[in-house]
Chains A and B, each alone.
Chain A
Amino acid sequence: MRNLGRIFIVALLLLALPGGAALAQTTDGTVSVLHGIPGDGGFPVDIYVNGDYSAPFIPGLTFGNFAGPVTLAAADYSIEIYGAGADPASTDPALGPLVVTLPAGANATIEAHLDEAGAATASVFVNDTSEIAAGNTRLTVRHTAAAPTVDILANDGVLFAGLSNPNEASGDVPAATYNAKVVPTGATEPVVFEADLALAEGTSTIVYAIGSLDGGSFTVAVQTISGLGAAPTGVPTGTAGLGSDSFPLALAIAGGMALIGLVGSGVALTRRSGR
């Protein structure tokens, strides 16, 4: 509960920031929520927003599952997480209240997860929805598990090095299926997690490491954002000039001959009339 108290303080600090809670903006943002805290039976929770206890905004979310995406007005939101079915009037939240800021136009993921030591915490990640060059895919890895610093290997080469909780690493790579491994940083084994990731072109794939390594609940949750791919920059389909609109050679010769004939006739006519 010490960590929950810390979150509460952070929340208060966020509230105190200038332009905080009161200033709702006109533009919307997009939010997804990930449950990354392991527990009995998947630790089902109800999520309440802005102190409205009439009904959970998200009911019964369990470990490894996402809720959303929802489009919300860009603003600050107060989030409280209760054990599923708990009465908010008579019990304390399992996590929160946590005030998160949704910037205008942002695509964000709010995640309840463990810190490196295994205590419950929460993070807000802004998802990169910038355009991806044609033929490429975007892979983002977010370390939100009770586990030490790791490296991410792709096809046995280091893709992301020194990733620690609660940080993320991201890169655009050619679209393909990659063998991905999670290993202790600077090492190649033991392999903590391994999977073949089919990364689609023009799509952002976000892999969250969740759970507890020591507790045996370490796994991943995957979110994808599609429709980010750019078009190829052109279509190069000719190198000989045979199909050119330029004056074709044969026609140029024929035209030239006709011109000679024309000029010759003209000369003859001129001479004849000039006699």
Chain B
Amino acid sequence: MASPGFFYTHKMSRRTLTLGLTISLITLMAVAAAFIGTSRSGEAGNVAAVEASLGHPVAGTTPSTATSTTAGLPLPSDDPSPSAVPIWPGRLSDARVEDAVLPVMLTVGSIDVEAPIIPTGVDARTGQMAVPRNVTDVAWYEFGPRPAESGSAVLAAHVDLANQGPGVFFHLRDVDPGDIVAVGFSDGSVRRFRVEARTIYRKDELPVDTIFAREGSPVLTLITCGGGFSESSGSYDSNVVVFAIPIPDRELGTVR
């Protein structure tokens, strides 16, 4: 006759039931809130403004500036110097590259990141940016600008690797506009950047010409993987991207 339910006894009062229901609802809401909290990899800050500040490559011949003359030749003889054709030697450049100052250390205080930077190029097999073997390293795209130079200096690191666990950029999606990023260089100098925006791009829509822009305002671009994950392919469907811009030296006076 008595067929007690899993959560039911005859002695259970209506008040107890109501309490159970309420606790269950609160738990559900907490879970939902926690989920929303973890999926905060959406847009923050003015992403469009940063994108617009980055230029696209423009072909230039040595010397880098082309002299433009009026469409109709001959040139007026009373206008001698301004449009004079530049002359330059076709000498071989010295193959030995001088010791360049390179980025060597990245610090993002808001997510407890302090990691070595290694220069990388392109994975010849895939055409994608070459990334570090270790989840603890940050890669700098050596064919693009250095941090604080014109264009987008790209620092990429893993969100995770199947054989190594969470990576140095696991919490990149938690970086917010206003956070401070510091890059240490091989000559001991440090440049600081302020985060302007964070966003997420589907990988098939990643604006690579903007992310890897070699011209335009100086932007430090931090990038990792995020979004949805495919167990079958072992890869994410999106990239989490943080844009930061150099803090002018005069603003650093009190910090140094």
Contacts and interface: CB of A to CB of B under 8 A. Distances in A.
Interface stretch (A90-98, A150-158, A160-168, A230-238): A230-238
Interface in A248-275: 248, 251, 254-255, 257-259, 261-262, 264-269, 271-272
A194 B35 CA distance: 64
Interface residues of B, number: 94
B139 to A, nearest CB: 9
A268 B8 CA distance: 5
Interface string A62-81: 00111111111100010000
A73 B71 contact: yes
A234 B74 contact: no
Given A68-B61, A261-B24, A268-B5, A241 B77 contact: no
Given A68-B67, A224-B62, A135 B124 contact: yes
A202 B129 CA distance: 14
B170 A243 contact: yes
Given A237-B158, A258-B31, A243 B226 contact: yes
A15 B212 CA distance: 46
A77 B208 CA distance: 40
A240 B90 contact: no
Given A222-B90, A238-B159, A227 B229 contact: no
B92 A222 contact: yes
Interface string A173-191: 0110100000000000000
Contacts, number: 299
B24 A265 contact: yes
Contact of A175 (B58, B92, B129, B143): B143
B167 A237 contact: yes
Contact of A227 (B21, B159, B162, B214): B214
Interface stretch (B79-87, B104-112, B183-191, B243-251): B79-87
Interface string A204-236: 000010000000000011111111110111111
A107 B62 CA distance: 12
Nearest to B41: A245
A55 interface: yes
Contact of A70 (B5, B25, B62, B66): B66
Interface in B51-102: 57-62, 64, 66-69, 71-75, 77, 80, 85-97
A107 B208 contact: no
Interface of B: 5-8, 12, 14, 17, 20-21, 23-25, 27-28, 31, 34-35, 38-39, 41, 57-62, 64, 66-69, 71-75, 77, 80, 85-97, 121-122, 124, 126-129, 131, 141, 143, 154, 156-162, 165-167, 169-170, 173, 203, 206, 208-209, 211-212, 214, 223-229, 231, 234-236, 239
Interface of A: 24, 28, 30, 32-34, 49-50, 52, 54-55, 57-58, 60-61, 64-73, 77, 107, 127, 129, 133-135, 174-175, 177, 195-198, 201-202, 208, 220-229, 231-248, 251, 254-255, 257-259, 261-262, 264-269, 271-272
